[in-house]
Structure 1
Amino acid sequence: MLPTSLLHFKSGHPQLRKGYIASIDTIEDILRAFSILLPGRFTDGDLCSQSILTALNLVSLYNTHYLVRVADKTQDKPDVFAFNRYLRKCFQLSRPFKWVSLCLSVVSYSEVLAEMIWARSGNSSAKHRWKLITYVESIKLILRLLLYFGAKKRMVLHPTHFLRNVDTHTLSFDREGEDRFELGHLDARLGLPSTADADLTQSVYPLPRVGWAHLAELLWMARPLVYVLTLSRVQNHRKSESSTDERDVNDQDNRTDWRPWLVSLAIELSAALLRQSQSMVPLEKDEAKRRNYLLLFYLLREPVYSIWARPFLDWLSDAADHRPLVSIITSAINDYRPFWERCYFYTSAS
């Protein structure tokens, strides 16, 4: 039903367009509710949940581009959200930028589902799994490099598509002309009107990164692929020296070898330090803050996860087992634990 309804706005009929816009939030809320409730409920519930979540993200991506496109045609005033204005500037700097950014968004939204499906197929061995992960990280690195140099060495902001700065409940259609409506702008990160945060409405665009700041961007983009290659190399080296079963060797390597974890963290911290060598505009500062928050994912990677994080979660789950409110939270955490324990892309922060 969803693919058929998504074709309706191409007809351009005012009533169909109004009807679909009004139902955008309902469609996305239903998909979001299913993706939250399914994990841990039945066999392959995690796969069903991730499939719905991937569909939700892709539908939301389509809806966002549609709303922005309609707003551009029906509004005289420019978009008050600086992030979207900056993306338009990048589209002007490089013609393929729009399609490359869209491809990167689709890959990022689909990578977890692809890994889970691959694990359930005949190619579920660790060797084939890491080969798939290496291919995906290589594709993402190439796409980010194209975006970076296509934007004349400006920082690649996240996400690489337009942000939803429109609350569909605030849409007000013109009674005299059905083809025109006004949009209530919201900051997608804060849920507040964009004008409430001056940093996000300033027309100050990122400048090209030079010197050490340029190196910082290259290091940050290459970090996920370096981590995967280092991890694969360690595992292949151990397997060549051991007669143990392949799966047991890979599990043991992930829990005892610190080299991939330390190499990735060293690159991440170096990029964060070198990034400060050049002044940043508000949009870049917001992106730098987001990247710093991603360091928390290192707590969910081996060997830190097995040594500290997992025992703590087990203790927390046991301690809150008979406490009414807290047990609901720990139960939800336990439902999602298989995601980050089995799927690389859930904690890759790439």
Structure 2
Amino acid sequence: MNSSIKPPAKEALKPITSSTTTPRLLPAALALPPKWLNMYSDFITKNQSSVTQIESALRSLTYIIPGRFRDAELASESLHSSIQLLSMYHDTLLTRAISKLPGVPRQQSPHNRYTKFWIAKSKFYRRVATILAMIQYTELLWEMMAKRKGERVRWRIVVILEAVKAVCRLCLLRITNSRPLVSPALPEREIIPEEEAPTEEKELEMEEEVRPREREYKMKRTGLSLPTLPNPSDISSYLLSKVLTADDIKAPNTLLNKVNGSAQLAEILHVLQPVIYAIAMSRSKDKKNWQPWLLGLSIEYAARKLRKDGLRTTALEREQWSKRGWAMGWWTMRGAFYENVTKGFLHSTSDRLPSLISGVLDDYLYLWDGYYFSTSSN
């Protein structure tokens, strides 16, 4: 008897291949990294205070680990540089989140107003400032890796890094139309207001704030109500919070005056001084030789003397020049001054301290003895 059942078609017997599913899975796989980045950005934005505390704890840990710069100097400095770079990325995320907040922008420091203005105005400024910050965070790590290949390679890397930083600073000077350099060139981290659930104490405070408003005096003819006066003990702080200073109403680009003449020459000398000092140190075979140290310090001192203080000096200019003044204290930890004066004093002091404190100090003495960027202030 002939069966009426037909054999299955050849197409139906073919195995299912992934040729049809691969094109569908590929876009989904490519969409995962941006999705993860967005989730990470939201997490950082919503947990800013916790992230900042973790960064500070990790950064402090790399400072106080015993033997940090001896047995595991490269690994420890790699961790420290990675934390700094990650913190810079977090600053970018938080700055972007703050710019999207609704309402009137909060009061910002002159430094942040100035740097944010140039970042928004010039993409080239943002790229150059980012490169400069990345070099500053990783320069000691580069020197440590180069030192393993010899002193000659190490000093070559030091001179190259100082030259690249000088080029970046000259570019920033050009982009900002000959305005003084600010340190850091990127905005500093700001605090994002976090929404907190109202507690019982806050609810009572809100009720107390609402009650006086119920007793506000309402004018009969106009129907307007007079606001309640603040607490007599807080009148001064209340008035100061409502006052705008001259820098608050200035345009961001006017927070620093343009430099010209001798002031511009002073800024250029300030930029070139680390390069000249690094070249002099690389050519000096004796660490106790005073010539490189005197050359670098004299250039920095000449740059400060050529600067002119006028009546139009802004608060941001005074702040930046104060930072440069304090940074000159690092010259006591460099070159011949360190080898002839500071080094002996610190080693003798370390012998008198308790073992725990002297151990940490000895780790830093090892760092200051052997690396150029450990005492660099630029």
TM-score category (smaller protein): 0.7 to 0.9
Moved over 6 A (4+): 4-7, 195-200
- Matched with 2:180 is 155
| 8 Å Cα contact 2:41-2:93 kept in structure 1 | no
> CA shift at 1:70, angstroms?
0.3
Structure 1 Cα separation of the partners of residues 71 and 34 of structure 2: 28
Aligned to 1:302: 335
Q: Which of the residues 323, 332, 344 maps onto 2:360?
A: 332
Q: Is the CA contact (8 Å cut-off) linking 2:94 and 2:190 kept in structure 1? A: no
Taking every aligned residue pair, what percent have the same amino acid on both sides? 27
The 1-side partners of 2:116 and 2:314 are apart by: 17
Change (3 A) 1:6 1:215: farther
Corresponding residue of 2:372: 344
Aligned mates of 1:219, 1:153 — CA distance in 2: 14
Give 1:188's aligned residue: none
Structure 1 position 42, deviation (Å)? 8.5
Taking the aligned partners of 1:330 and 1:7, their CA distance within structure 2 comes to 48
Q: Which residue of 2 aligns with 1:313?
A: 346
Partners of 1:73 and 1:276 lie apart in 2 by 40
Q: Secondary structure at the match of 1:297?
A: helix
Q: Is the 8 Å Cα contact of residues 34 and 49 (structure 1) preserved in structure 2?
A: no
Matched, 1:224 2:257: no
Residues of 2 paired with 1:263 and 1:147: CA distance? 25
**1:317 Cα deviation (Å)?**
1.6
- AA matched with 2:52: D
Distance 1:56 1:264 in 2: 31
Q: Is the aligned partner of 1:65 residue 2:92?
A: yes
Equivalences for residues 5-44 of structure 1 within 5 A: 8-11=36-39, 16=43, 21=48, 23-40=50-67, 44=71
Report the Cα offset of residue 157 of structure 1: 0.2
Report what 1:76 is aligned to. 103
SS for the counterpart of 1:209 is coil
What is the SS of the residue equivalent to 1:70?
Answer: helix
| Cα-Cα RMSD | 3.0
Match of 1:137 among 133, 140, 162: 162
Trace 1:277-288 onto structure 2 (pairs within 5 A).
277-278=309-310, 279-288=312-321
Counterpart amino acid of residue 272 in structure 1: R
Q: Deviations over 1:129-178 (max 9, x none)?
A: 11111110110000000001101011110001110121x6x522799xxx
Residue 81 of structure 2 corresponds to which residue in structure 1? 54
Report the Cα distance in structure 2 between the residues aligned to 1:328 and 1:197, rounded to whole angstroms: 50
Q: Distance in 2 between matches of 1:41 and 1:85?
A: 38
CA–CA distance in 2 between the matches of 1:131 and 1:13? 39
Q: Name structure 1 gaps, 5 residues minimum.
A: 176-194, 236-249, 322-326
Question: CA contact under 8 A between 1:219 and 1:268: conserved in structure 2?
Answer: yes
Deviations 1:264-310 (A, max 9, x none): 10110111111234552111111111111111111111211121111
When Rg is computed on C-alpha atoms for both structures, the one with the higher figure is: 2
**Matches of 1:156 and 1:60 in 2, distance apart?**
22
Q: Would you say the 8 A contact 1:212–1:277 is kept in 2?
A: no
Alpha carbons 1:223, 1:268 under 8 Å: kept: yes
After TM superposition, the structure 1 stretch with the greater mean CA deviation from structure 2, 129-138 or 69-78, is 69-78
The normalised TM-score by structure 2 is 0.71
2:72 corresponds to: 45
Matches within 5 A, 1:233-272: 233=283, 235=284, 250=285, 253-255=286-288, 257-272=289-304
**Which amino acid in structure 1 is aligned with residue 257 of structure 2?**
L
2:205 maps to which residue?
none
Q: Which of 102, 112, 137 matches 1:109?
A: 137
Query: 2:28 is matched with which residue?
Result: none
Check whether the contact 1:9–1:17 (CA below 8 A) recurs between aligned residues: no
Q: Which amino acid aligns with 1:52?
A: L
Q: Report the Cα offset of residue 318 of structure 1.
A: 2.0
Change (3 A) 1:32 1:232: closer
Q: Is the 1:205–1:281 contact (alpha carbons within 8 Å) kept by the matching residues of 2? A: yes
Cα pair 1:301 1:347 within 8 Å, conserved:
yes
For the residues of structure 2 that align with 1:42 and 1:88, how far apart are their CA atoms? 36
Sort the Cα spacing of 1:199 and 1:46 in 2 relative to 1 into closer, same or farther, 3 A: farther
**What's the secondary structure of 1:207's corresponding residue?**
coil
Counterpart position of 1:186: none
SS of the residue corresponding to residue 80 of structure 2 reads helix
Q: Which residue number corresponds to residue 89 of structure 1?
A: 117
